[in-house]
């Protein structure tokens, strides 16, 4: 798994597709999950369309807009279910590229949901960063490698 973070509209998804291309794979649109609209079943465990449309959904290569997925959980009071969901996704798709906006770089919002949202996005990213093969921050389309597999500074 690789983590691609940064501000909005910086070319994060394009970078993710480029990474797959470098690995010899052209990502099809149906191989991209969108955090804002992906299907979640009642128990909040990921089921996507895999169980119903197995053939067209045989592979997930990119999870886009993770922040929007986190937001859906926070808004429904299920914040603690995000990490188990991520673990399940990664067990199914260990080569996933995860794309997420950075949303925690501002003053603490007055509204409680907004505060919880920013905090939850941060905590989720911490959890993922610890196991990511690489984490990059995209600015103006360019990647700044924050962590790579050969980095001697890997956190425990």
Partner 1 sequence: MLYLITGASGSGKSEYAEDVACYLARRDGMRYKLYVATMEAKSEEAQERIARHKRQRQGKGFVTVESLYGLAFSFPGEEKAPFRLPCLPQDCVILLECLSNLLANLMFSDKRSGGQATEAILSQVRQRQRLCRHLVIVTNEVFSDGMLYTGEVLEYVRALGTLNRLLAEEADGFLEVVYSVPLWLKGDRIWQF
Give the interface with partner 1 as residue ranges (CB under 8 A). Answer: 3, 5, 7, 102, 104-108, 112, 115, 118-123, 125-126, 128-130, 135, 137, 146-147, 152-153, 155-156
Nearest residue to 10 (alpha-carbon basis) of 84, 89, 74, 102: 102
| Residue 56 or 131 with smaller CB distance to partner 1 | 131
| Residue 31 or 71 with smaller CB distance to partner 1 | 71
Tell me 108's DSSP state.
P
Q: How far is the CB of 60 from partner 1 (least distance, A)?
A: 22
Q: How far is the CB of 24 from partner 1 (least distance, A)?
A: 28
How many angstroms separate the CA atoms of 139 and 33, rounded? 22
| Residue 31 or 102 with smaller CB distance to partner 1 | 102
How many angstroms separate the CA atoms of 39 and 36, rounded? 9
Strand order in the sheet with 97-101: 32-34, 62-64, 97-101, 2-6, 134-139, 142-147
| Residue 47 or 90 with smaller CB distance to partner 1 | 90
Q: How far is the CB of 38 from partner 1 (least distance, A)?
A: 22
- Quickly list H helices, the chain: 12-22, 66-75, 82-92, 112-131
Q: How far is the CB of 92 from partner 1 (least distance, A)?
A: 22
């Amino acid at each position: 798994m690789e983590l691609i973070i940064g501000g909005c509209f910086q070319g994060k998804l394009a970078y993710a597709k480029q990474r797959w291309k470098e690995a010899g794979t052209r990502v099809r649109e149906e191989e991209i999950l969108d955090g804002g609209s992906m299907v979640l079943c009642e128990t909040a465990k990921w089921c996507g369309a895999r169980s119903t449309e197995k053939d067209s959904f045989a592979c997930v290569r990119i999870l886009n807009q993770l922040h929007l997925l986190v937001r859906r959980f926070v808004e429904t009071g299920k914040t603690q279910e995000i990490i188990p969901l991520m673990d399940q996704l990664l067990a199914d798709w260990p080569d996933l590229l995860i794309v997420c906006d950075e949303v925690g770089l501002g003053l603490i919002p007055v509204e409680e949901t907004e505060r919880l949202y920013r905090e939850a996005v941060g905590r989720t990213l911490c959890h993922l960063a610890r196991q990511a093969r690489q984490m990059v921050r995209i600015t103006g389309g360019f990647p700044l490698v924050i962590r790579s597999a050969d980095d001697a500074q890997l956190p425990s």
